[in-house]
Amino acid sequence: MAQAITTDPDTGLKIFNTRAAQASDKIRGRGYGVVQDESLKTLPDAPAGAVFNAEEQARYRDFKEARAGAGEYVALEGEFSKYLEDVYSEAPVPRDVLTDECEILVIGAGFAGLMLWYKLRQAGFRDVRFCEKGGDVGGTWYWNRYPGIACDVESYSYLPLLDETGYVPTMKFASGFEIFEYCQLIAEKFGFYDKCLFHTTVEKTQWDASAGRWQVETDRGDKMKARFVIVANGILTTPKLAKIEGMETFKGEAFHTSRWNYNVDLEGKRVGIIGTGATAVQVIPEIAKVVDELYVFQRTPSSIDVRAQRETTSEEIETWKNEPGWSTARRKRFGRIASVRDAVKADDDYLSGRVEDYRKKPKESKKLSPEEWMQQQLDENFQAMEQIRARVDTVVADSNTAAALKPYYPYACKRPTFHDEYLPTFNLPHVHLVDTAPRGVNRINENGVVQDGVEYPLDVLIYATGFQWMATSTFDMIYGEDGQSLTEVRKKNGTKTWLGLHSRGFPNLFVMTGPQGGGGSFNFTDTIDDHSDYIIWVLKTLQEQGADIVDVKPEAVEAYAQHCREVDLATAPLRDCVAYYDHEGQAEPGSLVYYGGGRWHKQRVAGQESLEPYVFSGSSAS
């Protein structure tokens, strides 16, 4: 067997061979297929005369208020820690403990880690090391392998490095299994595997000011030093379980969607699924095809928009073969789409460059006041939601079920979803929607779920209850120059960053795609692209400045945090519902997602030109 750690005689750098083998050949699947029925691929018109009047506004308000405070979750510790186990890979590859030093240590080997490595390598940085909790690359696409999984941002704009690999996704919305394999292809092509310590979780990262280095400890006993640490472990990383009385007593099989247990054969079983977010919307139509009885426990319905999945055409494959840079150009066009709905609907004519504008009829050019603009947004949003609600009535036969499946909140307030098979699934005789609104499932016993005095006996219970949003436990274990963790500092002072990437007192640390980290569009891949370029700019600027430590000034983080707050508040009426995006209403405005759109770039460019936000210093190490 090849050694897990060797040394390159030319560079003196370590070469790793720690990628774990797949645990079982049962782990396979596909996304969602092409639906032939054209009527399922179009939205009906909004009912005539529908306007967002006081009555409709009150209905939205009631819908929200009834759910306020319902989102209680349990920590995945103790007996619930089993829901975090890696079910996809064989045991970790044995290796020696590392106590050496590298220049750049990156946490995470998902899209962000892969993109970053490609760019660092291009820029000449080689002394780079990745630590990854999973047994292989992929991040989200490593952990999420549930039946029906596919990306919701069109794959031609979403998959990173398509121009560089020459790969063309097989579907407009590629399956998660295809995306996972594509991540492996990137890693193989660009030498990523040599750089990555798999099954290695960073447990503590402490800034040592006297050495000008981070000290990084892992669950494999490593105690490494690194000049720079880059956090690239995603925004929806840690699964969460709804807090439900008696959940530990259930005697059947139970798992979370992000640890799908393929050893449990669902065929012929009574299966329950809790949650109806973006994950469940993809899972439900697939498992309904094999299970005996399916109980869907819904607290809040998702908006189910048209998907219109299709295969990549042979004409596209031919065209793109002869069009270098086609994917980057397409992604740029995608990034210019201002509305979330237009973006995810991904108009091919616009994205391929055949037409100039993605909007069917261009907007009037009259300058609107902020109030007029907001009213226009709310009205358009309401019309879209009316169409989505009308679709439910058109497709779902039972009127009670249809009523329960209709969402009453602004479009994109909760994560919008897209599917052409989800709603028809509720017409199948063995699929039952159990409406647990507004407080959700609150009791489980050894047989199954008990709701409103009715017991639903189950063989298998699936938690589709989501993830912690922008609050990975990683932030708890990064200790800055005054010995406090990033979480502690943020609790005390509020979240204050520069561009989301730097936090004052945490020198040489970069957080990719974290709180306040804007840049890209609705497309995560755009953001990691922008953040990778930015980090490389900082590393090169340090070299130019003859410095090796970078921190940011207090006034820079104060001003940026204030800006984040303002852009959040200015757009808040469009997000007036209970959603994980603002931690169910608990988050301070401006402390999580960045809502300023292209203004992030303006801030970035101004900072890069003036160098005003930065404090550069030499290392006292040598």
Residue ranges that bind ligand NDP, judged by CB under 6 A: 67, 71, 150-152, 236, 242, 244, 274-280, 282, 297, 299-300, 415, 436, 440-441, 464-467, 580
How many Cβ atoms from other residues are within 10 Å of residue 194's Cβ?
Answer: 15
Of 335, 336, 316, 340, give the one whose Cα is nearest residue 326: 316
Structure tokens at 211: 């050495």
How many Cβ atoms from other residues are within 10 Å of residue 264's Cβ?
Answer: 16
Closest approach of Cβ 578 to ligand NDP, in Å?
A: 7
Closest approach of Cβ 583 to ligand NDP, in Å?
A: 11
Are 205 and 218 a contacting pair, CB within 8 Å? no
Alpha-helical segments (H) within 166-275? 176-189
Which of residues 337 and 550 has its CB atom nearest to ligand NDP in the complex? 337
Of 40, 514, 490, give the one whose Cα is nearest residue 305: 40
What one-character-per-residue DSSP string does 15-39 give? Answer: EE--PPPBS-TT-----------GG
Which of residues 84 and 211 has its CB atom nearest to ligand NDP in the complex? 84
Closest approach of Cβ 436 to ligand NDP, in Å?
A: 5
Closest approach of Cβ 153 to ligand NDP, in Å?
A: 6
Which of residues 200 and 257 has its CB atom nearest to ligand NDP in the complex? 257
Q: How far is CA 438 from CA 62, 67, 274, 361, 449, in A?
A: 10, 5, 14, 39, 16
Are 80 and 74 a contacting pair, CB within 8 Å? yes
Are 593 and 470 a contacting pair, CB within 8 Å? yes
Closest approach of Cβ 126 to ligand NDP, in Å?
A: 33
Which of residues 421 and 548 has its CB atom nearest to ligand NDP in the complex? 421
Are 104 and 191 a contacting pair, CB within 8 Å? no
Which of residues 76 and 196 has its CB atom nearest to ligand NDP in the complex? 76
Reduced to 3 states (helix: H, G, I; strand: E, B; else coil), residue 333 is helix
Which of residues 184 and 282 has its CB atom nearest to ligand NDP in the complex? 282
- What are the residues whose beta carbons fall under 8 Å from the beta carbon of 34, sequence distance 6 or more? 309, 310, 311
Which of residues 146 and 498 has its CB atom nearest to ligand NDP in the complex? 146
Instruction: Note the Cα 386 to chain centre separation in Å.
Output: 27
Alpha-helical segments (H) within 146-215? 155-158, 162-165, 176-189
Percent composition of the chain: helix, strand, coil (DSSP 3-state, to 5): 35, 15, 50
Which of residues 282 and 513 has its CB atom nearest to ligand NDP in the complex? 282
Which of residues 35 and 278 has its CB atom nearest to ligand NDP in the complex? 278
Question: Angle at the Cα of 359 (from 47 to 304), degrees rounded to 5?
Answer: 50
